[in-house]
A and B are shown apart, each in its own frame.
Chain A
Amino acid sequence: MSQIFPRSANTISRVSIVGAVLLIGLLLGLVYELGASPWVTRQYVAREQPIQFSHERHVAGNGIDCRYCHTSVEQSRFAGIPPTKTCMNCHSQIFSNAPFLEPVRASFNSNKPLRWTRVHDLPDFVYFDHSIHVSKGVGCTTCHGQVDRMPLMWQNSTLQMAWCLDCHRNPERNVRPRSEVFSVSYQPPSSQHEVTVNGKTFTDQVEMGKALVAEYQIQKLTSCSTCHR
């Protein structure tokens, strides 16, 4: 009896077995990548807002501190979005007739709040607290990126749980001196850039981080109920 399968069938079957495994792996990898991609996480996607508010203009241009507008960042879980009154503190004097500020004036006069689009939106089952991060030496730009270079605000981190846990497991990689928390120009220590904390000079982030973790009594909180309840 002649052979049913030609000799090449061996190769084809081997290739297709390997190919199937690879394909499944590829598909899984694709789903994973998709899940972590900006399409899902909205990382680096600038959002339209009712007013073309530029952090670049206000932070880098005018040198306004984060806390002038985000007043409750040191006390509360919520950093605070400024009330219209805060805008009008300056804009009743400067650009007081600028057409692009018309929504601000309308809000102030009609007592109707502005509706901003949320850029950093955690799922509702995540309970994040700004105040404790700020007081433990996590800088604004660590999570929010170089806000002073963002004409329109975007989300600089994935905000996925793996990203949170990265820092919760290894806080020394990210903490900075408390005095630098609100600085947008802060550079972490490196061989080219020295950072002095309490009279001690560091050239390595991890080295400084370890010293700060000890000083600020930073715990590695990874219990579920730290964030979920």
Chain B
Amino acid sequence: MKTGKAFWRTLDELADDPSFVERLHNEFPSQVEAITDPTTRRTFMKLMGASLALAGVTACTTQPAEDIVPYVRQPEDLVPGKPMFFATAMTLGGVATGLLVESHEGRPTKVEGNPQHPSSLGAADVFAQASILNLYDPDRVQTLTESGDVTSWPVFITTMKAAMAAQAPLNGAGIRVLTEAVSSPTLAAQISEFVGRFPEAKWHQWEPVGRNNARLGSKLAFGEFVDAQYSIEKADVILSLDADFLASGPGSLAHARQFASRRRVEEGHSMNRLYVAETMPTSTGSRADHRLPLKPSEIEGLARQIAAGVGVGSASAGSGEAAKWAAAVAKDLQAHRGTSLVIAGDAQPPAVHALAHAMNQALGNVGQTVTYTRTAEAEPVDQVTSLKDLVADMAAGKVDLLVILGGNPVYTSPADLEFSKALDKVQTRVYLTQFNDETAERCQWVIPEAHFLESWSDARGHDGTAAIVQPLIAPLYGGRSAHEVVAVFSDKPEQTGHDIVKSFWQAEKPAADFDAQWRRWLHDGIIPGTAFEPKTVTLAAAAVNTPAPAEGGAGIEIAFRPDPAVFDGRFANNGWLQELPKPITRIVWDNAVIASPATADKLKASNSPASRGGEHGTIESSVVEIKFNGRTVRGPIFGVPGHPDDCVTVHLGYGRTRAGHIGNGPGFNAYALRTADALWAGRGAQVTTTDDTFPLACTQYHHLMEGRGMVRAVSLEEFQKNPESVHEGFEAPARTITLYPDWKYEGYKWGMQIDVNACIGCNACVVACHAENNIAVVGKDQVLRGREMHWLRIDTYHSGNDPNRADETYFQPVPCMQCENAPCEVVCPVGATVHSHEGLNDMVYNRCVGTRYCSNNCPYKVRRFNYLLYSDWDTASYKLGRNPDVSVRSRGVMEKCTYCVQRITVAKIESEKENRRVRDGEIKTACQQTCPTDAIIFGDLNDPNSRVAKLQKEERTYALLAELNTRPRTQYMAAIRNVNPELSA
């Protein structure tokens, strides 16, 4: 059945290759061999017989005796069995996201966003969600060592005192501190004080995925470092110049929330329009109403053309598609003066940032959709220069004592600086780190760093709002915070992190009842009144008169991007993130050389699925060699629709050698190509195909629905003309098709609504589901067999007939649909999956015998089977982090989304105790709670006033595969594109 618009998920679907279809129909290819091979079959039968017999015997044994260990003195306010929530904050790139962390009897188990924090608004991103796994990582540095020998904190203090004393007569000329971007007011004050005591000592900062270009751009435009603060909800027309502002970078959670609020046509707002010109397809690009794929070098030219169109500077009108695009965008921006917005991406050169500032000024957006404030970073610097200076000093032997506070610079610094070689010339190297990583290998003093859930600190959100970082657990491995390490160098080694932070704020905001105020801050997770005031800035004329970059250059362009899963490499040892299908590419456990399918073809590289594996196809990718500025790396090539031609994108953060058990190995190290003058993009790369191939695990090829049940999307114009257009070509059978009477749901009737128009595919829900439901990580080998365990998968759909162009991209999250006529239930021979009185499709693990009939019969392919013992039952530290309200599944058991039934039960019990019904919004599923765009809504369909019941009556609502009469409880809302008629032709 071909219905509506043609959408496809993979290039093979688009090509409609018959051999691919055949493989698709072969559902369990990895077992085929075992059944046809007589020896294996006999062994299999033997083993099955033996296990059956043993299963019978074991059922007669009694349970082993268990202990109950009560407190000696129970903490006040703690009710055993009830979780507590504490506000704290996590920093990434120096900027904080406010969080609420769930704690069970003192063990943090789940991270949520803090609704009061302006950088979170209740949402949390993948990194915050997964941070809990880093806390319990058994690979963390567990002891303080000097040159590999275990030593103690007092020894460290004494040694450092001596080193400092030696520096005193030199005015500290040999002292250097290297940090990541610091927004913590306390830490900045501490370092400034320490460095201030020695006139010659210096503080350097380096953040590999930093906002250096944005900072330099603001300096170029305004003569000072400022942060632009966007009010996305006020903008009718938004132009993004390679900015992934919805899904990465400071404030992205808030931006996504604001953006989505203008995409709900039901709520009466006029819909905004988003234009995106970008290189690597991103979440933001996929939400664009018009997206233009451009090579990195072309974006500045486009920016100049659009700028000229809105009256900023001058540029020669080009020709071709980009020129037409630029003219239409400029016209649209002009038509929305004061309600438009131009955002430049962090990877763009300073000139583009300056142009964006100038355009916003010319369009009258300043004070409306954009304001300027001082930076969230306490001491903004040009980090590239800062790092270069440090390396020069180290290489010259001028540095005697280097204190590195996190960041792993040996791995992340630009390759041409040769940081590690220079580092070896430093006499005393002190490194505070959570992992025994590449930098730890080259430092004598390695201090275990406390995780943010173990330490006191403070940090600023993107708008300047300060939050206190409070610990939820004592350091598992005696870790220290940066505050405590710097205190050693400030001759106050006795100070605890708590005292340092508290005394700083006592001086900053003195009050008679400071303690009460402090407790309020800790409770709320923000310090009120600390958001920055808007600043008046004046645009320098020079901003728009920068010389245009030289055109052309032979070879292929290369772009560097942070990885959407492991970021700059710091999350490489996190299994949840490694196994997270990256937005757009859906690759797990690896990075790849991303190119357009046409470019991949030109390089004669094949990345179609190999014959083994069928639906669960391995992608046997050709390995290519990239030569750039005299350095080479090799990696598998991967074609992505919507990527510009003659250009490759590589993601940072892989190819780690000392990340830990999980992070060592996967991918290739893109930092090896990254130089200080080409941090984000460069020209003249040579890409050659080698004879090698490499298997990539790409979940985009898993759980394909064979062209049925595609996502639905229409243009705003069509929708306004005829709201029914969403359902054109789809047909759902009437409810009267059955002879049986309808089941009456008398109490609650749970349902879920997922707004495809709001979903940005950021994956936060997938990781939240992982954390909430104790889902196991299976590893690359198992993913290659199609056995990943994510209860919630996000399908990426493209439209259009050209494999190189992704005209439109949509994300459709697919959890269990909780069908009213569930096909899985009728085939279970042991009643392990049955319908509840509230319409949930219950999965009873303890009854499941693993026939897999249910998953075979599920048209949505949302059931996951524990083929092996995937859950780690042995590692002690992981046990601490599990959700005690959800069973940890064993081998041979089917599992799937339960609508977070543990949360439903808790809410029902609380409401029952008060003799009332559960209120709308009282239950939030894990995926819903963390969603930055509010795309997932859960509630009671029996309550006509609930949000979900109202939404399910909207015109945009559609059910996936409704034609099968499964009557899914999870329904979707179609995507609406606000197309510019000038560009639609």
Interface residues of A (CB under 8 A from B): 31, 34-35, 39-40, 42, 47, 72, 75-78, 80-85, 107-108, 111-118, 121, 123-125, 127, 129, 131-132, 135-136, 217, 219, 221-226, 228-229
Contact = CB atoms under 8 A, between A and B. Distances in A.
B837 to A, nearest CB: 5
Interface string B79-94: 1111000000000000
A118 to B, nearest CB: 4
A117 B67 contact: yes
Max count, chain A CB within 10 A of own CB: residue among B847, B885, B913: B913
A125 B832 CA distance: 13
Contact of A81 (B62, B68, B838, B847): B68
Nearest to B70: A81
A83 B76 CA distance: 12
Contacts of A115: 67-69
Interface in B384-428: none
5 contacts: A35-B59, A72-B79, A72-B81, A81-B80, A121-B65
A39 B885 CA distance: 29
A154 B913 CA distance: 29
A218 to B, nearest CB: 9
Interface in B55-71: 59-60, 62-63, 65-71
Contacts of B31: none
Nearest to A221: B837
Interface string B885-902: 111000000000010011
A146 to B, nearest CB: 22
B912 interface: yes
A125 B845 contact: yes
Contact of B62 (A39, A225, A226, A229): A39
B373 to A, nearest CB: 45
Interface in B430-478: none
Given A118-B67, A127-B885, A225 B901 contact: yes
Contacts of B836: 223-226
Contacts of A39: 62
Given A72-B80, A223-B836, A113 B66 contact: no
A136 B911 CA distance: 12
A85 B915 CA distance: 35
Nearest to B72: A84
Interface string B514-542: 00000000000000000000000000000
A154 to B, nearest CB: 13
A147 to B, nearest CB: 16
Max count, chain A CB within 10 A of own CB: residue among B66, B79, B844: B79
B62 A224 contact: no
Nearest to A74: B913
A80 B747 CA distance: 31
B885 to A, nearest CB: 7
Contacts, number: 129
B65 A117 contact: yes
A124 B838 contact: no
A118 B66 contact: yes
Interface string B497-515: 0000000000000000000
Given A76-B81, A132-B912, A217-B912, A127 B902 contact: yes
B81 A223 contact: no
B72 A111 contact: yes
A224 B70 CA distance: 30
A84 B901 contact: no
A82 B70 CA distance: 6
Nearest to B831: A224
Nearest to A107: B72
Given A85-B71, A229-B886, 13 more contacts: A31-B60, A81-B80, A111-B73, A115-B69, A117-B67, A124-B887, A125-B845, A127-B905, A217-B915, A219-B747, A225-B840, A226-B836, A228-B845
B381 interface: no
Given A77-B81, A131-B909, A223-B836, A121 B66 contact: yes
Contacts of A118: 65-68
B753 to A, nearest CB: 21
B62 A40 contact: yes
Main secondary structure of the interface of A (DSSP, over half): loop
B67 to A, nearest CB: 5
Nearest to B833: A224
B63 A123 contact: yes
A85 B74 contact: yes
Interface in B27-61: 59-60
Contacts of B838: 223
Nearest to A136: B912
A118 B67 CA distance: 5
Interface residues of B, number: 40
A78 to B, nearest CB: 3
B738 interface: no
Given A75-B82, A76-B82, A223-B838, A34 B60 contact: yes
Contacts of B72: 83-85, 107-108, 111-113
Contacts of A108: 72
Contacts of B74: 83, 85
Given A124-B887, A229-B901, A223 B67 contact: no
A229 B905 contact: yes
B73 A123 contact: no
B722 interface: no
B945 interface: no
A228 B69 contact: no
B846 interface: yes
Max count, chain A CB within 10 A of own CB: residue among B65, B68, B74, B747: B68
A118 B912 CA distance: 29
B842 interface: yes
User: Which 4 pairs of residues, A with B, have the shortest CB-CB distance?
Assistant: A78-B81, A223-B836, A76-B81, A83-B71
Contacts of B847: 224
B909 A229 contact: no
A45 B71 CA distance: 26
Contact of A121 (B63, B79, B834): B63
Contacts of B62: 39-40, 42
A219 B902 CA distance: 18
Contacts of A229: 885-887, 898, 901-902, 905
Contacts of B898: 225, 229
Contacts of A223: 834, 836-838, 840, 842
Contacts of B60: 31, 34-35, 40
A226 B81 CA distance: 17
Interface in B823-860: 834, 836-838, 840, 842, 844-847
Given A115-B67, A118-B67, A223-B837, A83 B73 contact: yes
A127 B887 CA distance: 9
A57 to B, nearest CB: 19
Max count, chain B CB within 10 A of own CB: residue among A34, A75, A229: A229
Nearest to A118: B66
A219 B915 CA distance: 12
Interface string B368-379: 000000000000
A129 B82 CA distance: 11
A118 B64 CA distance: 10
B828 to A, nearest CB: 12
A225 B842 contact: yes
A116 B842 contact: no
A34 B836 CA distance: 32
Given A40-B62, A223-B836, A132 B909 contact: yes
Contacts of A82: 70
Nearest to A82: B70
Contacts of B915: 217
A75 B79 contact: yes
B67 A76 contact: no
A83 B836 CA distance: 39
Given A72-B82, A112-B72, A113-B72, A224 B909 contact: no
Nearest to B846: A125
A84 B909 contact: no
Nearest to B82: A76
